[in-house]
Chain A
Amino acid sequence: MALTRGFSGRSRGPQDTRLPPGQYDAGAAWPVLHVESTPSIDTARWTFEVDGLVDTPVRWSWEEIRALPGSRYEGAIHCVTTWSKFGMRFDGVSVDTLLDIAGVGADAAFALARSHTGYTTNLPLDDLTGGKAWVVWDVDGEPLQDIHGGPARLLVPHLYFWKSAKWVSGLTLLAEDQQGFWERNGYHDHGDPWREQRYQGDR
C-alpha cells in the first residue's frame, strides 16, 4: 500500500466507526446497481419457495407470506461498490420463520438464493439464520420499488448487499456451497464487509 501523493481525503471528523473499511456514507442517496433490466413483478404472480435439503418444500404466495408474523430490520446496509447507508428500516418476515416452517435438513449448510430474473447468490446457512436475514417488502414504511427489488427482496444486511437478492423467488438449501451469479464472476463467496471480502481470494 502506498500513500497517494497530495491526497488527504475530504474533510472529516473522527473516523465513523459504523463504516466498514473502504466504505463511505452515501447519505440520503440510495444508488441502484443491478445487471438485469428492471422487472415489474405482479404480486398476483409472485411466489417464494424454500426447497432443497428441507423436511418439506414450501411455496408461499404474496398473501400467504405477508400473513406470517412480521419482522423488522433497522440499521445499515453496505454495497461492495463502497457506499454504505445508515438508518434504513425494512419490514418483512424473518428467514428463520420461513426455515422453521420448511424444516432445515440435517445436512444443510449452504443456501443458494434465486430471483424471478434468474439472478442467484450463495450464502452459508449460518448467515441466513439467527435473526440475521429477512424477506422484506417495505422500506421506511413504503412498498419496495421495482428498482430496489420490489415487490420483495432478500435482506442480509451484515453481508455486502449483492447477497440481498432483489426480486427474490426462493432459497435452496444445500450441503455444499454452490456459487451464484456474481460469485462466479469473481466476487467473494461470503462477502463480510468488516473483513473486506469483496472478491474471490480476499480472506
Chain B
Amino acid sequence: MTAVVRGRAPHPGPWQTARVTGIRRETPTAKSFTLTLSEPRAFWPGQHMIVRLTAPDGYRAQRSYSIASAPSGAAELDLTVELLPDGEVSRFLHDAVEVGDVLDVRGPIGGHFAWDLRPALGVAGGSGIVPLMSMLRHARALGEPDLFRLVVSVRGPEDLYYAAEVRGPETSIAFTRAVPDGYARPPGRLTADDLAAALDPDRELYVCGSTAFCDAATRLAEAAGVPTGRIRVERFGVTG
C-alpha cells in the first residue's frame, strides 16, 4: 500500500533555466512542453510552475502553468499550455518556442491543490485536466490506479487532452456537445450521475476548470454529500 506523503508540498526554489526538450500538440489549442530543468526540483502532482519571458529591453511577462507529468525524480517535467485569446505568454509559447530553446522558470508553486496520495477523485473541466493528469499518471505509475479516479467534462472528442492516454477503468468522460461514434453517454453537462459512479465516501475531491465549471461541479459534489472541507478547487481564470 502506498503511504500518504507526509509533510508539505515542496516550495519553489529560485529562478532557474530550463531547456525545451520536447513539444507535443494535445488539441488544436493546447500544447505540452517538456522542460529539462538545470536544477531538478521535487514536486507533487497538482503543483504549477512559472514561466518568465524577457525581451531585449528588459520587459518581462510571466504566467503559471500546471505540471502535467508525474513526479519521477528526473530533471524533466511537462507543462501543458492552453492558447488563450490575447494570451501574450501562451501565444509566444505556442508560436515561437522550439525544441532547444531556454526559458526562465520557477517552481514548484502551490500547496493547497497538491495531491498527498490520499484516495481522490479529480473532476476536470476542459483544460482543467492538466494538474489532474499529473495525479492520474502518478497513481498509474505507482501501480495503484484506483488511488486516483478522474471525471473529465469536455466539449467534444477533439478538445480532449491526452486522449490516447486518459481513458481507462478509473476515468470517465462527459462530452458536453459532441460524442464519438458509439459513445453510450449522450452529450450534456456534467450531472450528479456522472460523479456518483466515481464517488465513494472517503475520497478527497480535486476540482479544476473555469470558475463556472468549478462552481457547478462543487454544487453537484456537495449535493451528493461530499463535505465542503474535502473539496479542493483550482480555478483557471483569465490570467493570460
Contact = CB atoms under 8 A, between A and B. Distances in A.
A185 B215 contact: no
Contacts of A185: 8-9, 110-112
Contact of A24 (B14, B103, B240): B240
B93 to A, nearest CB: 10
B60 interface: yes
A37 interface: yes
Interface stretch (B49-57, B71-79, B124-132, B142-150): B49-57
Contacts of A200: 11
Grouping DSSP codes into helix (H, G, I), strand (E, B) and loop, the A interface class, with mixed when no group exceeds half, is: loop
A184 interface: yes
Give the interface residue-count category, chain B: 35 or more
A186 B238 contact: no
B183 interface: no
Nearest to A10: B88
Contacts of A4: 53-55, 92, 101, 103-104
Interface in A4-63: 4-10, 12, 15, 21-22, 24, 26, 29, 31-38
B2 interface: no
A67 interface: no
Interface string B108-138: 0111110000000000000000000000000
Contacts of B235: 32-34
A7 B231 CA distance: 39
Given A9-B61, A22-B60, A32-B211, A2 B240 contact: no
Given A24-B61, A31-B239, A186-B110, A8 B12 contact: no
A185 B114 CA distance: 10
Contacts of A86: none
A26 B84 CA distance: 14
B41 to A, nearest CB: 12
5 contacts: A4-B55, A6-B97, A7-B54, A15-B59, A29-B238
